[in-house]
Structure 1
């Protein structure tokens, strides 16, 4: 097992969950620690070729397949990994979240859960059925658990139960595991032996938009300012928010949004109360984790940095987050190789699983499967040899 225990990755994107699995035994909250390479993503597949190009740069040992999962035979997937059914230790992946995301609820087909991409959950089940891994990890947006998508979610759980995997699911907040981002995602995890998976306990806590009650005995949430410590990067003229809204955004205080410019607050009376989505003109609060990074934000959708910058004309404007800041908010290593175009980086990171959140789930599963020995005060010890 010189290459590490084998993992099959579906809907891989740029490789956030893949990186988490390969670094499952790395020191928590140390993005630069690669671990002992206990696990190895043998093959990864996605329909998005730019994302797979990013994955290839960061996972040179992984064989990647670019194509539609609906036309990919499981035997071909196993063959590319040089594996037989029953040999993969894990199948991991996050089917595209678009059908279940709140951002698409203005479309009738999404409100009624008729998006054809929802069938990709069934493709995930098919691959698990055909490859018979020891365990699986499926990640998606919290919206998958909403009543609107109950039929699809129940079918997923029923199918995995019928395969003997006893699936367990839970919505996890990334900030509760050391990620400087208030990002909620649902994880569905199952074991081939039928034992119930136990989710990892939070290591951090703090208040969020959902609750003001939290466990003060845990480590406080990592703030955006803490995440950006030590970063140095030159400003560029194309990163400020232009136009009238850029001027308004520059006046919004840290942690605020367009509501600052309503009759109820001290800014300009420009907008009706709750007339926009809350991320409109949103600024980071340096003393709080970031809000969720979006894959395809509009030009005036935040979060923007709490600091302003000057335009070539000398005007104050809000500034967009830089690539190294996006990496930090995703708890990715600073040297993660991203696309040259900022828009591609934003899309790929916005669709990815934050590293520390993924590590926590993968570490818990590999520990419960017997591949990692839990040690309370030091790095987990490996039970199998690489």
Structure 2
């Protein structure tokens, strides 16, 4: 069995890298914008890590890595996050479409990209459809899946939307990983760490923390320090016996009060454990506490990356029996986008409504308005007052030299998360 190599873009502090290494992949190269996160990855993994804008030809040349086994990455989440404005392709930080376009240059055997749950929303159905159409055009079979970290031994409600694409001869062997039957609680995960300094009430705290925690929020460089997220998240942590207003330097000591009197805070080591890092990984995070917390909170949990990585590895090695490639589920398609993309010219709303017999004219109009956020949508009105539409170009960044994204990153790279 030959060694499988991966190139990882937007690698962060190494959550995905660690998972893929556990799954049997060796990193040929990793690229990360944040110098501190890159240093964390470099000092722990021993991989070659380049620092800078992954889309800049001054940082690396994708064509030099043609035929790599896997191209993987966790491209920026803010363009799709429900916590933000969900600007999609209009957000200068968006690199999802660019990453997909690199498939045409690198021609990897497989592609794996992960992002937040927001990308699975109907707001981005046309964006997702364009991704699938482009990968199909390039000769790949692609599928999306919403995976929950809690189903893979991570005690968090942390959904991640994952895209996997492969060439047909490998895709027939790919199967999404099956979730674990039993979920792990925050308390049992952190019992040893919370009691490390002799806190006499650790068992009482474990009983309080008998559940899965909310998503750890890494946040951005622009906002806040090391705390466990917005008010709603802090309340959820409080219900589990955790003070989410900050991160502690050490676990409670022997003199610390009962958790009903004062809730303990998590340490960096505890946060890393909740994200899926294990003691045996001996992963040391560079930078100060706030930076360390951000690196951990923004990571793809290693156990989830490992599970998907193993599924990709098995497919690339043609393990198991081949199967029919199922048609992609309807919820990843945008019917209005599809009709416009396949049309030769302008299309009336009436024609769209007829073709999409389950949609009213009002629904079609709403979809057109959403489409216009990520695509140029041309319109005209006939002399009789009938509106016609035609799908224009995609607004997003796919590598264009003359794109506002390049100027934005050059100006604000130190502030981009």
Band the TM-score falls in, shorter-chain normalisation:
0.5 to 0.7
Deviations 1:297-325, CA, capped at 9 Å, x for gaps: 55865335616779x99995433211121
Q: Aligned with 2:283: secondary structure?
A: coil
Task: Identify if the C-alpha distance between structure 1 residues 371 and 323 changes in structure 2 by more than 3 Å, giving closer, same or farther.
Answer: farther
Shift of 1:340: 4.5
Hey, what does 1:353 align to over in structure 2? 300
- In the other structure, the counterpart of 2:7 is 8
Are the counterparts in 1 of residues 216 and 229 from structure 2 also a CA contact under 8 Å?
Answer: no
Summarize deviations over 1:180-200 as a string: whole Å, max 9, x none.
111100110011235353211
Cα separation, 2, equivalents of 1:185 and 1:5: 24
For each residue in 1:214-271, what CA deviation from the matched residue of structure 2 results, as whole angstroms up to 9, or x when unmatched? xxxxxx2111112113225559xxxxxxxxxxxxxxxxx999xxxxxxxxxxxxxxxx
Q: More displaced, 318-327 or 180-189?
A: 318-327
Q: Which residues of 2 match residues 28-39 of structure 1 at below 5 A? A: 38-39=24-25
Distance of 2:309 and 2:283 partners within structure 1: 20
The answer to whether 1:71 aligns with 2:71 is: no
Rounded to whole Å, the distance in 1 between the matches of 2:299 and 2:88 is 26
With the length of structure 1 as denominator, give the TM-score of the two structures. Answer: 0.67
Secondary structure at 2:192 match in 1: coil
Match of 1:242 in 2: none
> Whole-Å Cα distance in 2 between the matches of residues 18 and 189 of structure 1?
16
- 1:133 is aligned, of 103, 108, 118, to 108
For residues 101 and 135 of structure 2, the distance between their equivalents in structure 1, rounded to whole angstroms, comes to 10
Greater per-residue helix proportion: 2
1:365 matched residue in structure 2: 312
CA gap of 1:127–1:223, structure 2 versus 1, over 3 A, is same
The 1:189–1:73 alpha-carbon spacing in structure 2 relative to 1, beyond 3 Å, is farther
Match of 2:264 in 1: 319
Shift of 1:358: 1.0
1:362 positional shift: 0.5
- Rounded Cα–Cα distance in structure 2 between residues aligned with 1:18 and 1:371: 23
Deviation for aligned residue 1:21: 0.8
Cα distance, 1:325–1:151 mapped onto 2, change above 3 Å: same
CA distance in 2, matches of 1:122, 1:362: 22
Q: Does 1:328 align with 2:273?
A: yes
Deviation at 1:93, TM superposition (A): 0.4
Indicate the SS of the match to 1:199: coil
Looking at structure 2, the residues matched to 306 and 330 of structure 1 have their Cα atoms a distance apart, in angstroms, of 18
**Which residue is 1:292 aligned to?**
215
Output the TM-score relative to the length of structure 2. 0.62
Q: Distance in 2 between matches of 1:153 and 1:285?
A: 41
Select which of 62, 84, 91 maps to 1:115: 91
Residue 123 of structure 1: CA displacement? 1.6
Alignment partner of 1:52 out of 34, 38, 54: 38
Distance in 1 between residues matched to 2:89 and 2:52, nearest whole Å? 24
Q: CA deviation at 1:372?
A: 6.3
**Is 1:200 aligned with 2:162?**
no
Runs of 4+ in 1 over 6 A off after TM superposition: 312-315, 371-374
Contact 2:150 2:184 in 1 (8 A): yes
CA distance in structure 1 between the aligned counterparts of 2:144 and 2:307, rounded to whole angstroms: 14
Deviation at 1:286, TM superposition (A): 1.5
1:96 corresponds in structure 2 to 76
Structure ID, larger Rg: 2
SS in 1 for 2:216: coil
In structure 2, distance between residues paired with 1:314 and 1:357: 36
- Compute the RMSD of aligned alpha carbons: 3.2
In 2 relative to 1, CA 373–355 (structure 1 residues): closer, same or farther, beyond 3 Å? farther
* Cα distance change on mapping 1:373 and 1:63 into 2, 3 Å: farther
The partner residue of 1:164 within 139, 145, 149 is: 139
Checking the alignment, whether the CA contact within 8 Å between 1:113 and 1:148 is kept in structure 2 is no
**Residue pair 1:74, 1:131 contacting (<8 A) in 2 also:** no
Kindly state the Cα deviation for residue 175 of structure 1 after the two structures are TM-superposed: 0.9
Contact 1:93 1:139 in 2 (8 A): yes
Counterpart in the other structure of 1:277: none
Q: CA 1:144–1:43 in 2, change beyond 3 Å: closer, same or farther? A: same
Report SS of the residue matched to 1:347: helix
The SS at the match of 2:175 is: coil
SS in 2 for 1:185: strand
Tell me whether 1:149 sits opposite 2:124 in the alignment. yes
Structure 2 CA distance for partners of 1:198 and 1:73, relative to 1, 3 Å: farther
